[in-house]
Amino acid sequence: MACSTQQSRPHWIPATNRLNATGKSSMDYVAFFDPSTSRIKRLETEGFKFSRGLSLHGMDIARSREHPSELLIYLVNHREPLEGKDDGREVGADSVVEIFETKPGSDTMRYIATFKDSVIVTPNDIAATGDEMDFYFTNDHGFVKTGLVCLFSFFDFSNLNEYIVGWMRIDLDLQARRLNIDALLDLGWSNVGYCHAHKGCKVAADNIVGANGIVRGSDGKYYVASSTSGRIYVFERQTDDSLVLTDLIPLERSVDNLSIDQTGAIWGAGLVHALHLVNVHFETPSINTPSSALRITLNEGEGSYFGEKYKVEKIFEDSGELASGSTSVAYDSKRKKLYLHGIAAPHLTVCDVEV
Ligand SMILES: *[C@@H]1O[C@H](CO)[C@@H](O)[C@H](O)[C@H]1NC(C)=O
């Protein structure tokens, strides 16, 4: 788990336009939960001596191909801009992807490398590829598109500059949803990026609506959740490392993050009340907000004849008392445990769930 403090979240979540770097935490850390003992252990860093520290968000872990006893940890690090803490609101975060290495059970992680590139703009989540040289990631707000500025006349914005950094981000998506302007919601201004240690980074898939969680399926395809439109994009990797869309899975609600269980099923954190999550719970994390977990599998039943390739089931939903603000859910199909956590959530929730 990539962990931070609840106090810092109202100030610093670049994905939702919280860019007050003065209030951000720089001491975030990776912790593991051991399901056999239910203990949480925090990893100390080794060799990571950068003054801007770690401000974590999405991550992935993969076994190293060259050294199978080692694990590689990929972390989104939302650093404050070099110019200074006050500039966060103007220029956004100076986000990078950090690579660490550890061994199962170890309580340290060793720093390996930092990926900084103009394609890494607003990174949200990372998917390892199985090769240690490269990874895919989502930019939840991609690039600022020219021509978009005219849309601002819909709203009464007095300071356009501020909103180009600010409201251009997810708040505009949410605003559009609230006002029911579908045309705005369907503007795909997020993307999936690809980085390779020698070849550098590039945009692998563009024009995605609200790209958020990304996961590599057991079929080798990449699944990307749309946090604003309620769908999952299914991509196939090409020889040039770009991604080609092969399917769109419609969902009845927006999903934040995705994970995959040992049987190959995809799990998504379904957003029950996205505006409440982003505007109320992120502002005051102690206020609970509902959570849900969706499970997506290949449809082997009757519906498959009628073009329903995927089966989507809601496995869990809670008012927020047990699981508040879950933006990530993960299922352990061996132990039959469902894990739920969130970017500003008060705790990890573990449920016995049989599917
Ligand atoms: C999404 O979930 C995966 C799997 O549980 C996790 O590794 C990743 O850090 C999560 N990303 C975000 C942005 O929460």
Please give the pLDDT value at position 189. 76
- Cα angle value 231/351/7 (rounded, 5°): 75
Predicted TM-score (pTM) of this structure: 0.89
More confident residue, 228 or 136: 136
Mean pLDDT score, 112-118? 95
Q: Is the pLDDT of residue 212 over 80?
A: yes
Instruction: Return the minimum-mean-pLDDT range out of 27-41, 67-81, 119-133, 161-175.
Output: 161-175
Please give the pLDDT value at position 157. 42
The CATH number given to whatever domain includes residue 333 is 2.120.10.30
270 lies in which domain range? 2-352
Does 299 count as an annotated binding residue? no
More confident residue, 149 or 120: 120
Mean pLDDT score, 153-168? 41
State which amino acid sits at residue 52.
R
Distance from residue 157's CA to the centre of ligand 1 (Å): 34
Mean pLDDT score, 52-78? 95
Ligand 1 pocket residue status of 122, Cβ below 6 Å: no
Band (245; pLDDT cuts 50, 70, 90): very high
Q: Is the pLDDT of residue 227 over 70?
A: yes
Band (3; pLDDT cuts 50, 70, 90): very high
Strands 44-46 and 108-115 come out as parallel
Strands 349-352 and 337-341 come out as antiparallel
Band (17; pLDDT cuts 50, 70, 90): confident
Please give the pLDDT value at position 152. 42
**What are 295-350's pLDDT values in tens digits?**
999 988 777 777 789 999 999 999 999 999 999 999 999 999 999 999 999 999 99
**What are 185-210's pLDDT values in tens digits?**
556 778 999 999 999 999 999 989 88
Mean pLDDT score, 64-69? 90
Indicate if 341 belongs to the active site: no
Q: Give, in order, the Cα–Cα distances in Å from 71 to each of 4, 27, 99, 132, 154.
A: 22, 22, 10, 10, 48
For a pocket test of ligand 1, which of 257, 295, 329, 349 has the largest count of ligand atoms closer than 8 A to its C-beta? Answer: 257
Ligand 1 pocket residue status of 58, Cβ below 6 Å: yes
Tally of structural domains, the chain: 1
Ligand 1 pocket residue status of 140, Cβ below 6 Å: no
Ligand 1 pocket residue status of 326, Cβ below 6 Å: no
Helices (H), 92-200: 160-165, 170-178, 182-185
Q: Do 101 and 109 meet the contact criterion of CB atoms below 8 Å apart?
A: yes
